[in-house]
Amino acid sequence: MPKLQVVLGIDIGGTNTKFGYVDREGHCLAGTSIQTGADQPAQQFFNQLQENAKSLLENIEEECELAGIGIGAPNANYYKGTIENPPNLKWEYVDVKAEMGRYYKVPLAITNDANAAALGEMFFGAARGMKDFIVITLGTGLGSGIVANGELIYGADGFAGEIGHTIVDPNGRRCGCGKLGCLETYASATGLCRTVLELSCHSNLPSELRYFSAAELTSELVYQAALRGDPLACEAFDFTGRILGVKLADSVAHLSPEAIIFSGGLAEAGDILFKPTHKSMEEQLFPIFRNRVKLLRSELTQRNPAVLGAGALIWDVLQKKDGTP
């Protein structure tokens, strides 16, 4: 009896790296995580990764066969198979295909985590059956993956899709990338907290959040306060939604997607964020696009989305190689 084909999906983060074995239907048959070790050399990290992945495979290898490896990582280049100057990691330039090639002889693909998330939704989540959509990841920053005509958009150099670094205000907040006024400095978990702190200084809105220092404040605290009707917290979410909606209207004009799908921790705020975002987007849309673009939440939130996204990346490559739909 032939073995079940699985792929190894890997999500490299600044603190932790998650990985697991994913079948064609999006089932994660075995998964775990290790500390990334941001200060350690990349070669040491990849050696540790393969040792742990090998041990994990031993639990299922009697029934399963490894068909490929997909990796989602910050500043990953799909064309080159590299990671280049990733934030939160002390790696400058890593040839991931060469590093992993020392241990594996199966096909490997790598892209940034937001692109992997888009493929995860297309294969296994809210975008199944869609050919034109955008995935927005709302976490510490704002990532995005764009699919047009059924293909993930990489652009000429492999780095397309940085909606989080489009400009809201050229004289606005300083971004970690060095620019001023990037969208992610407003529409992200970090941006939401910055908005609360600014409102605390420049408005008289009453709020329980005034008792938290900048170091103590989290987006979860803001969300819980908003659920209780806290005026400042609600205004912070409305402000965030207004800005996000304006920039999404720009993206709709460029791409005409069927849907925009949200994932990440801040997306768990649900309607508290989505209602002002949708209202703002509709107000700013070019008229021919109004009432046509759906705003959806990820369907992978409870299913290890980062690993499924990385798995979907390599399944996409393998299917194209085999000529299967």
pLDDT tens, 199-240? Answer: 999 999 999 999 999 999 999 999 999 999 999 999 999 999
pLDDT mean over 132-160: 94
pLDDT mean over 88-97: 89
Q: Is the pLDDT of residue 171 over 80?
A: yes
Is the separation of the CB atoms in 238 and 203 below 8 Å? no
Question: Looking at 86-90, 102-106, 233-237, which range is the least confident one?
Answer: 86-90
pLDDT mean over 146-154: 96
Domain with CATH 3.30.420.40 in the chain: 4-120+303-322, 129-297
Q: Is the pLDDT of residue 82 over 90?
A: yes
DSSP label at residue 174: B
Residue 42 is predicted with a pLDDT of 92
- Residue closest to 122 by CA, chosen among 287, 257, 278: 257
134-157 in b/e burial notation, b at 16+ Cβ within 10 A? bbbbbbbbbbbbbbeeeebebeee
In CATH, the number for domain 4-120+303-322 is 3.30.420.40
Residue 39 is predicted with a pLDDT of 86
In percent, the amount of the chain with pLDDT more than 70 equals: 99
Is the separation of the CB atoms in 232 and 196 below 8 Å? yes
Averaged pLDDT of the chain: 94
Q: Is the pLDDT of residue 8 over 90?
A: yes
Residue 272 is predicted with a pLDDT of 97
pLDDT mean over 237-258: 98
Q: Is the pLDDT of residue 174 over 80?
A: yes
Residue 324 is predicted with a pLDDT of 61
Residue 88 is predicted with a pLDDT of 74
Rounded (10°) angle between helices 219-227 and 231-255: 110
Greatest CA span in the chain, whole angstroms? 70
Rounded CA separation 110/82 (Å): 8
DSSP label at residue 26: S
- Residue with structure tokens 């990489």? 154
pLDDT in tens, 32-71: 999 998 788 999 999 999 999 999 999 898 899 999 999 9
Which phi and psi angles does 300 have, rounded to 5°?
-110, 5
pLDDT mean over 266-280: 96
- Residue closest to 295 by CA, chosen among 138, 186, 154, 162: 138
Residue 325 is predicted with a pLDDT of 58
In percent, the amount of the chain with pLDDT more than 90 equals: 86
pLDDT in tens, 278-292: 999 999 999 999 999
- CATH topology assigned to domain 129-297: Nucleotidyltransferase; domain 5 (3.30.420)
